[in-house]
Amino acid sequence: DAGVIQSPRHEVTEMGQEVTLRCKPISGHNSLFWYRQTMMRGLELLIYFNNNVPIDDSGMPEDRFSAKMPNASFSTLKIQPSEPRDSAVYFCASSLGLTNQPQHFGDGTRLSIL
Amino acid sequence: GIQVEQSPPDLILQEGANSTLRCNFSDSVNNLQWFHQNPWGQLINLFYIPSGTKQNGRLSATTVATERYSLLYISSSQTTDSGVYFCAVNLYGGYQKVTFGTGTKLQVIP
């Protein structure tokens, strides 16, 4: 079975540019989560969706960050404009249901903003 | 918010040794997961264990929800066990707003 698929695996871009990260959840999973991992702050939940609807975006650091889930099989996380401090590994995860279900992670996108 | 503390922060083991990793949490939780982040950065789900004991090969986990802790046991460690082990919890009554611990970095040497 295909797991959570993220693209790109690596992204290097200059500050000020728009960055778009993509995620395809496991088929049949109706909850999707975006995380950010840095050395300083560890793994942080940014936003999560249930049935394509954003439930909690309180972890989104600034208005420069936005996330969408136009359908059950696709989500994007955008940063515009990007800044060097946004450099991190961004993970997407999905689960079956909103409560009491394990989360399955993609391989992450390693983002470097120069 | 809920506090999730893991110990020890760092651990070096000789191959073949056993170890116990601990996760303490400050509030009642709906669920608890253990993850292994391998040296390539991949997060692998090891156990989903809100309570009780589970075993999978050389790994086992026990969660005592009433006392707010969980333990991950690694027996006969192998170099491929190296990486960072995270526990992650979400609050009882809450949705899937998962909080990760700070992790235990394990290095298994031959």
Rounded to whole angstroms, how far apart are CA atoms B8 and B110?
A: 21
Q: Give DSSP secondary structure letters for chain B.
A: ---EEEE-SEEEEETT--EEEEEEESS-EEEEEEEEE-TT--EEEEEE-SSEEEEETTEEEEEEGGGTEEEEEE-S--GGG-EEEEEEEEETT--S--EE---EEEEEE-
Predicted pLDDT at B96: 59
Range A2-9 average pLDDT: 95
Range A6-31 average pLDDT: 96
Predicted pLDDT at B91: 73
Task: Name chain B contacts of A107, Cβ cutoff 8 Å.
Answer: 41-42
**Inter-chain touch B50–A104, beta carbons under 8 Å:** no
Q: Which of B23, B38, B43 to mutate to test the interface with A (most CBs of A within 10 A)?
A: B43
User: What percent of chain A has pLDDT above 70?
Assistant: 96
Average pLDDT for runs of 10 along chain B of length 110? 92 97 90 93 92 96 95 97 94 70 96
Q: How many CB pairs under 8 A join A and B?
A: 56
Rounded to whole angstroms, how far apart are CA atoms A58 and A63?
A: 11
Shortest distance between the Cα of B40 and any Cα of chain A, in A, equals: 9
**Inter-chain touch A48–B96, beta carbons under 8 Å:** yes
**Inter-chain touch A102–B33, beta carbons under 8 Å:** yes
